[in-house]
Each structure stands twice: as structure tokens, then as C-alpha cells.
Amino acid sequence: MSPVAIHDLAKMSASARTELLERTEADLADTIKKVEPIIAAVRERGDIALIDLAARFDGVVLDRESLRISSDQIANAEKELDPEIVNAIRLSVQQVTRFHLAQMPEMLWLSEQTEGALIGDRWTSIDSVACYVPRGKGFFPSSAIMTAVPAKVAGVGRVVIVTPPGPDGSADAATRFIASLIGVDEIYLCGGAQAVAAVAFGTETVPKCAKMVGPGSPWVSAARQLLSNRIDPGSPAGPSELLVYADNSVPAALAALELTVESEHGPDSSAFVVTADRALAEAIAAAVPELWSTMGAYRADFSRTVLGGQNGGIVLAPSIEAAFDFINDYAAEHLAVLSTSAFELLPRIRNAGEILIGPHSAISIANFVLGPSHVLPTGGRANTASPLSVFDFMKRSSIAYLSQAAYHRLAPAARIFAGYEGFAAHANSVSEVRDRILSNSSPSTGP
Ligand SMILES: NC(=O)c1ccc[n+]([C@@H]2O[C@H](COP(=O)([O-])OP(=O)(O)OC[C@H]3O[C@@H](n4cnc5c(N)ncnc54)[C@H](O)[C@@H]3O)[C@@H](O)[C@H]2O)c1
Ligand SMILES: N[C@H](CO)Cc1c[nH]c[nH+]1
Ligand SMILES: [Zn+2]
């Protein structure tokens, strides 16, 4: 038997199919219990708790001063890096900036939808945001780009990075270099639930922020859930997950290659190929073990766990329709469509954070350098949520200006509504009382 699981939908009960759609992050109840004391400690003891928790969970001795990365460590980070990663970072920052600049909405629009009434929207950026850059099972400088660049493009006044300290008691050099490149001068060394609590309450060193964005482990997700009344917790982005749709117009080896990509993050990730072709399913399963042998034991073990179990492998569908029903019910973070007719298949897809079409649209290019943020909704939330974008860092206000004539045309209906709902002050404000006040004052100005 192949060590890659083949889940045959035709032989599966409805409840087994539902279980296959479940993610590891679905139930955070236990983690929530464990993070409660962490949150309380940070709230009560601030920096001292962050220092204690860094020693306990990250094995690193920090002091108050080293909780914030020095400006020298940010400014000089490039010197610690090989030129090839420096160039890759520069390319990524350029692409991600360009994409998010193109995504920016018109900051103000007004239209005269009824004579004399100008109505529209105005966008303004949020004041402050904390970008969480994970560092547990690997480190993720790319996540610094994918969060802080759209924040900067959207015009957020204060963009800070929070990240667990590495074994050397610092943030990795690439994250520090990225900060210098995009103009972020605050990096704080705290991770997990304690980082969420730090930016939700503020400590002596870490500033309280209006919002937190970025991917993270269950510790981070649980704390965000618990503190959602203290800080806007942003869209949750938990363990990476991937669906690959494949048909026999592409080589099985290509589907196998892409399947392994997100399966290597950790045992809690999810990665499936969905296909309606049994021979292809078996060929893909057979091609994976050779790829494991190229990955190194640490990552290959994660991939084996994911692809051999309930959170990964091949989903064999009885028809193309059933394959896309599964894909839409799953609502994956990343979806790769490997088919020479990928564009024709696009209308069948409703739910996915990211849809990568055709054999050259590699998941890794999208993860690192393409332009859209790799921070995407996980846990099936792609059925209602969208990728992280400039819109996560801005909010809209409705704007309206009424001429005197437009006021008089609309006031009677407003007065009737107010009366029906029983709001006397609302009714007064659009009655002759207003006319009297205005007739005794100088005329208002306006466009
Ligand atoms: N969806 C996305 O856009 C996206 C992007 C990149 C990464 N990811 C995912 O983000 C996750 C990152 O997780 P990670 O673990 O690598 O890094 P992390 O930084 O989120 O978690 C590490 C931190 O967790 C805390 N921690 C560890 N053990 C603990 C314990 N026993 N009790 C309390 N706290 C503890 C520590 O503070 C540690 O610093 C992965 O699942 C990865 O797949 C998602
Ligand atoms: N796949 C992650 C988002 O789900 C992004 C990433 C960064 N590094 C490796 N992968
Ligand atoms: Zn990844």
C-alpha cells in the first residue's frame, strides 16, 4: 500500500466526507485554556512576563532592552545576508508593493445619485498594526513582506513587527533587512499568545496596536480569539493548507511535486490532490516517496504525516462535478488547478483563498515573490473571507452632502420613518424646527 492516503469519495459515507473537510485548527478549546494564564501574565506584568515567557517557550534570555531590536541591527542586517537572498527579497518587495499599489481603491468617491445629494465613500488607513511573523517550525521572513508591505501601501501610521526570538536572541537577518527596506523600525521579540497579549494591552516596551495581522500557530490563533474585544484580531491564518486539482492533461509527477509543497509546514497542515482520474491518483501517490527523499528528514516527516493521514493525500472523486463540489466545500487557502483547460474550469470554483491556474503558476512563486499576499484564509474560511490586502488596513466612512433642495425632498420620508419607529428627536431634526433654525442663521457653504 502507498504511504500516501487515497480517499475514495465514491466509497465514503456522508459523515466520513464531512470529516475529511475538517481542519486541525477547528477545535482550539484546549489551546484556549492553556493561553489564558499567558494572557493574564502579560496583562499583569508586561515586559517582565514577556521576558519570562521567552525563556520558557523560546529558550532565550532577554532583558527589557533586548525586547526591541535595535536600529543598528535593522540597518546593518543586509551585511549578514548572501547577495542572492538580498536580491530575492528586493524582487519580492517590489512585486508585492506593485500589486498592492494597483489594489488601492479611489480614496474618495462621491456621486449625485439623487439631485442635490452627493453620496459616496472615503477610505482612511488604520493608525497602527502589529504584523506577526512566525518563528516556530521554521522562520518566515516572507510573511514580514506579505503583511507589512500592504500595511505600508495602505498608509498605516505605525507598522510594527512582532516575532519570536531566535536562538541567538534576535530576529532573523532577513526579517530585519525587510524591515529596513520597507521602513519599519519597530521589531519586538515576542511570539505566540504573549505577542498577541502584548499588542492588545501594550507593555512598557511593546505598543498597544489597533489590529494584528499575519499567520501563526494555534497559540497565536487562540489568543486572537480570546482578545478579539481588545484588538482587531484580523483574519485568522492558521496552518497552511493546499488543494491541487489535477486531470490527466498534466504529468502525475507535477501534481505530486505541488502536493508536497504545503505538506511540509508541520503535522497540522493539510494538502490534497483532488482528481476524478483513478490512474492519475495512483500515479501521483506513487511519485511522492521519491520527493520525500529529497526533502531532509525534518520536512519529509511532516509531509509523510500529512499525506499519509486524514489531512492529506489524494481525494478520488467519482466525477469532475464531484471533484469541484469537494473543492468548493473545502474552501482551501491555496488551490492549484493543474490542467491544460484550467481557464475553462475556473467558473466551477467559488471558494478558495488563492487560485493558481495552469502548470507554470507554481505555488512557491505565489508564496514568495508573485505579488498577492500569501496570508490567506485557512480553516475553510475562504468561503467568506479574502486574502490579506490593503483593505485590511483601511476602513471606509460613508460621506454625504445634501443641498437645501435635496434636504426638502428627502426630509418628509425621514420624518415618517422616525414617527413609525417612535423616535421623536429623529423626527424633530427633520421638521420645521430645523427650517426655523436655518432661516435664522447664515447660509451653509458647500459644493
Ligand atoms: N496561512 C498563512 O498565510 C500562513 C503563512 C505562513 C505560515 N503559516 C502557518 O503559520 C504557522 C506558524 O507556526 P509556528 O509554530 O511555525 O510559529 P509561531 O511563531 O506561530 O509559534 C511559535 C511560538 O509559539 C509559542 N509556543 C510554542 N510552544 C508553546 C507552548 N507549549 N505553550 C505556549 N506557547 C507555545 C512560543 O511563543 C513560540 O515562540 C504554521 O502552522 C504555518 O503553517 C500560515
Ligand atoms: N505557505 C505559506 C502560506 O500558507 C507561506 C509560506 C512561507 N514560507 C513557506 N510558506
Ligand atoms: Zn508554504
Are 86 and 209 in the same domain? yes
Cα-to-centroid distance, 35 and ligand 1 (Å): 13
Cα-to-centroid distance, 120 and ligand 3 (Å): 39
Catalytic residue among 186, 241, 262, 333: 333
| Rounded percentage of the chain residues whose pLDDT exceeds 70 | 98
Are 35 and 153 in the same domain? yes
- Average pLDDT estimate for 321-343: 97
Are 275 and 416 in the same domain? no
Are 161 and 69 in the same domain? yes
Residue 108 lies in a domain: no
CB 416 within 8 A of CB 57: no
Residue 55 lies in a domain: yes
Are 291 and 161 in the same domain? no
Catalytic residue among 258, 334, 354, 374: 334
Indicate if ligand 1 lies below 6 Å from the C-beta of 191: yes
Are 149 and 297 in the same domain? no
Are 79 and 210 in the same domain? yes
**pLDDT in the model for residue 113:** 87
- Average pLDDT estimate for 394-416: 97
**pLDDT in the model for residue 224:** 97
**pLDDT in the model for residue 236:** 78
Residue 283 lies in a domain: yes
Are 149 and 99 in the same domain? yes
Is 19 assigned a catalytic role? no
Please give the model's pTM, rounded to 2 decimal places.
0.96
Q: Which of 2-6, 155-159, 277-281 has the lowest mean pLDDT?
A: 2-6
Residue 95 lies in a domain: yes
133 has pLDDT over 80: yes
Are 92 and 159 in the same domain? yes
- 394 pairs with which residues across the strands? 125
**pLDDT in the model for residue 35:** 97
d(CA 134, CA 145): 12
Indicate if ligand 1 lies below 6 Å from the C-beta of 376: yes
Q: What is the CATH number of the domain that holds 270?
A: 3.40.50.1980
Residue 395 lies in a domain: no
Residue 387 lies in a domain: no
**pLDDT in the model for residue 385:** 96
- Average pLDDT estimate for 416-430: 98
**pLDDT in the model for residue 2:** 78
Model ipTM over 0.95: yes
Number of domains in the chain: 3
Are 152 and 47 in the same domain? yes
- Taking CA atoms only, the protein residue closest to ligand 2 atom 6 is 367
Query: 210, 236, 262 — which closes off a domain?
Result: 236
Cα-to-centroid distance, 375 and ligand 2 (Å): 8
**pLDDT in the model for residue 1:** 63
What average pLDDT does the chain have?
96
- Average pLDDT estimate for 174-179: 98
Query: 209, 236, 263 — which closes off a domain?
Result: 236
Residue 114 lies in a domain: no
Q: Which domain holds residue 189?
A: 29-103+126-236
- Average pLDDT estimate for 307-328: 98
**pLDDT in the model for residue 27:** 85
Indicate if ligand 1 lies below 6 Å from the C-beta of 381: no
d(CA 56, CA 59): 6
Ligand 1 binding pocket mutation candidate from 142, 161, 219, 305 (most atoms within 8 A of CB): 219
**pLDDT in the model for residue 444:** 54
Are 208 and 284 in the same domain? no
**pLDDT in the model for residue 66:** 96
Is 265 assigned a catalytic role? no
442 has pLDDT over 70: no
**pLDDT in the model for residue 24:** 83
Cα-to-centroid distance, 272 and ligand 3 (Å): 14
Confidence of residue 25 (pLDDT cuts 50, 70, 90): confident
Query: 175, 203, 236 — which closes off a domain?
Result: 236
**pLDDT in the model for residue 441:** 80
Are 34 and 51 in the same domain? yes
Residue 407 lies in a domain: yes
